[in-house]
Amino acid sequence: MSDTREIEGTLGFGAARSIKGTDGGKVTWLPAVGASVTRGKQLYRVNDRPAVVFYGSTPLYRTLDSVGSVGRDVRVVADNLKALGYDIGSQPATGTTVRPQAPASGAATDEEPQPEGNDPHASPSPSGAGKNADEPAGGPSASPRPVTVKEGDGVLTASLIDAIKRWQPTAGMEPTGVLDVSDVVVTTGAARVGKVNAQLGADASADLLTITATTKTVTIPVDALDVGSIKKGQKVSVTLPDQSATPGEVSAISTIIQGAADAEGGSGDPSQQLNVTVSLQDADAVQDVDAARVQVKFATETRKGVLTVPVGALLALSEGGYALRTPEGKLLPVETGLFAKGLVEVSGPGIAVGMKVESAS
């Protein structure tokens, strides 16, 4: 048996992310609202140059044009080109020290980064806010410092640059081997266009559009004190606006506590809440509904292999506690457990599966 709790949630495509273009261009192409954009496909165009979707967690934050450049943004490029079927060659292992090379005349070179070995006394290049990790300390004319490859880093090798050159024409770019910040939009996965804000010919530096996930989920705000009873992977039931129910599963529990506004919409004394995300097992059940309020039923407590009787079968004893009465009039003292849906968990001497008891309900 199980006790349940219903909480209101919102069915939709999840949180929207605003996409802003870069300075120095005009918008020349935009997608339609509702369009899905996958890895390697263009999301928009500026000056007729595409901005292509790559999957990952680190956006490009610099121009990638120097053999030996090291960072998580390089790893995103390497992983995506490999996923698109391009041979990117081998990547230096974590702990390897490489010496970045300054590009000749602003173009990527064809030489591999020179490994410095795994000298434990080698000092990796410090990285400051807003600075390239492999920027020479002495200015453009100085020789770049060696950089140690950390966990999650990628290295811009000559092989990776060659893969970029081979991929660029298929993406509608010139095969330069150089990637600018404006060339790639990094998303966590396939994206759905939720809203288009810009118009063709507008400056690309403004908010162009918003994107969401492509699959519908349910987002439920839960009081922080109650979220402990909810577990990732927990099965739930979602009641849709037409009163039909469809199964779901808790797929994520946020770790960011938010303040919930009071019922009047004022600041008041906000309660602390976390967002719980529920994935639906049957996407077809909500194919005709893009956004709606739904009810999500959670099992707050579950008992397996227990004996239950209707609550009306309990008799309060004068000395305290409860008992069940058999059809023969015999009272059997019982211990009670979970109460749920008009039933109560009972246990005690003489209580067995299938036995008959009297009930007022």
pLDDT of residue 106: 46
Location of structure tokens 């309990």: 314
- 65 or 4: which carries more pLDDT confidence? 65
What would the pLDDT profile of 79-106 be if each residue is shown by its tens digit? 999 999 999 999 999 999 999 887 655 4
Dihedral over alpha carbons 76, 77, 83, 88 (to 10 degrees): -130
Q: What domains can be seen in the chain, in order of their start residue?
A: 2-13+216-302 (2.40.30.170), 21-213 (no CATH), 307-347 (no CATH)
pLDDT of residue 273: 87
C-alpha triplet 119, 122, 126: angle, nearest 5°: 145
Reported as a pLDDT band with limits 50, 70 and 90, residue 270 is low
- 258 or 121: which carries more pLDDT confidence? 258
Give which of 144, 133, 170, 163 is closest to 58, Cα–Cα.
Answer: 133
What would the pLDDT profile of 328-342 be if each residue is shown by its tens digit? 989 999 998 877 777
User: What's the mean pLDDT in 285-310?
Assistant: 86
Beta strand pairing status for 235-239 and 245-253? Answer: antiparallel
- Percent residues over pLDDT 70 in the chain: 83
- 206 or 302: which carries more pLDDT confidence? 206
**Cross-strand pairs, 107:** 104
- 278 or 256: which carries more pLDDT confidence? 278
pLDDT of residue 215: 94
